[in-house]
């Protein structure tokens, strides 16, 4: 899909093109158009269709069809920071997933037996507070009996290592998503603005101190050989924050770029039934409609949004029909 088509203010179909040089096809909708391209591509498609912040669209040379200042704004993501300790006296994924041992794991997987190929990169999870005085958790923890080169998930270290990662459940830093041009095939520009809010910076620092303490706790200390990252020399707040910025990255929980809200909210894009404000026949159904970050993974909430949207589309008589 490359653009949304309108008659007046009503969405009536979409333009589809498999590749930049492929023929353009038109698909018309009998009832309404459902946009479910995700929190990065949904705002991009709206913007290239002329729906979005006026200043952004004019800068891209796109005619403003319907001004909505919130399209692409309010971007949130969980920022993952990982601590790694080199280990000894125990086998880790780093060695199991290489060479002859990997062949053995492939055989076990083919036979339906437990194998390194069938486990998640993180095998243990937890929720905790970054500081003792907090009454509710603000961190989600991820432990792995392995480690990744320079924090790149999927690229294993050459040495034996274990990882304890975390992300702040409800970050305050806010970014945006913008189309780069009127070309729908060009990837959007994503600016997450990680750690721009001082509160997020302090949580990252506290989280790294907590992860270090846990990795050095008695049950794990007997396996620890040396701190790999952050290095043991990183002790001050400034040094730990620099480490978080150096290797921290996305938890792939993009959301918020077409937020649900009331018409009085200048950044609202959809109403309580996920209809795009000011337009007809167009709904957004994905994580971009979340007005604020969930305190955990976004997969289940997104499925819930889809289930609820299905009731809206069917016109479930048990649900109140309201337009904010």
Active site residues: 253
Per DSSP, helices labelled H in 123-184 are none
Assign 113 to helix, strand or coil. coil
Cα gap 285→112, rounded to integer Å = 37
| 3-class DSSP string for 268-304 | CCECCCCEECCCECEEECCHHHCCCCCCCCCHHHHHH
Cα gap 145→85, rounded to integer Å = 10
Determine how many CB atoms are found less than 10 A away from the CB of residue 218: 6
Cα gap 177→186, rounded to integer Å = 13
Per DSSP, helices labelled H in the chain are 38-48, 54-60, 93-96, 99-110, 198-215, 218-221, 237-247, 299-314
- Give 229: exposed, middle or buried? Use CB within 10 Å, 0-12, 13-18, 19+: buried
By the 8 A CB rule, do 198 and 206 touch?
no
Determine how many CB atoms are found less than 10 A away from the CB of residue 300: 10
- Give 60: exposed, middle or buried? Use CB within 10 Å, 0-12, 13-18, 19+: middle
Q: In what order do the strands lie in the sheet with 3-7?
A: 3-7, 10-16, 25-28
Length in residues, the chain: 324
The two tokens of residue 177 are 């998503």
């Amino acid at each position: 899909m490359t653009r949304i088509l309108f008659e007046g203010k009503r969405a009536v179909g979409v333009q589809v093109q498999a590749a930049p040089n492929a023929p353009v096809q038109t698909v018309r909708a009998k009832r309404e158009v459902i946009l479910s391209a995700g929190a990065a591509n949904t705002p991009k498609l709206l913007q290239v269709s002329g729906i979005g912040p006026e200043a952004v669209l004019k800068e891209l040379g796109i005619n403003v069809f319907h001004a909505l200042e919130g399209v692409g704004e309010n971007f949130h993501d969980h920022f993952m920071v990982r601590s790694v300790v080199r280990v000894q006296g125990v086998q880790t994924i780093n060695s199991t997933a290489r060479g002859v041992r990997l062949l053995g794991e492939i055989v076990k997987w083919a036979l339906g037996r437990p194998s390194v190929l069938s486990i998640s990169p993180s095998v243990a999870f937890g929720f905790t507070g970054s500081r003792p005085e907090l009454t509710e958790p603000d961190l989600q923890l991820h432990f792995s009996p392995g480690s990744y080169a320079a924090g790149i998930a999927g690229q294993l270290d050459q040495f034996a290592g274990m990882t304890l990662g975390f992300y702040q459940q409800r970050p305050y830093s806010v970014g945006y998503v913008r189309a780069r041009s009127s070309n729908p095939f060009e990837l959007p520009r994503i600016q997450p603005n990680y750690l721009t809010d001082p509160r997020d910076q302090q949580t990252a620092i506290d989280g790294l101190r907590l992860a270090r303490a846990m990795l050095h706790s008695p049950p794990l200390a007997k396996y620890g050989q040396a701190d790999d990252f952050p290095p043991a020399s990183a002790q001050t707040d400034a040094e730990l924050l620099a480490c978080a910025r150096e290797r921290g990255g996305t938890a792939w929980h993009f959301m918020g770029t077409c937020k649900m809200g009331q018409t009085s909210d200048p950044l609202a894009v959809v109403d309580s039934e996920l209809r795009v404000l000011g337009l007809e026949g167009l709904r957004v159904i994905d994580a971009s409609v979340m007005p604020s970050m969930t305190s955990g993974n976004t997969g289940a909430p997104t499925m819930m949004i889809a289930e609820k949207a299905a009731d809206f589309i069917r016109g479930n008589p048990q649900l109140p029909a309201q337009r904010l």
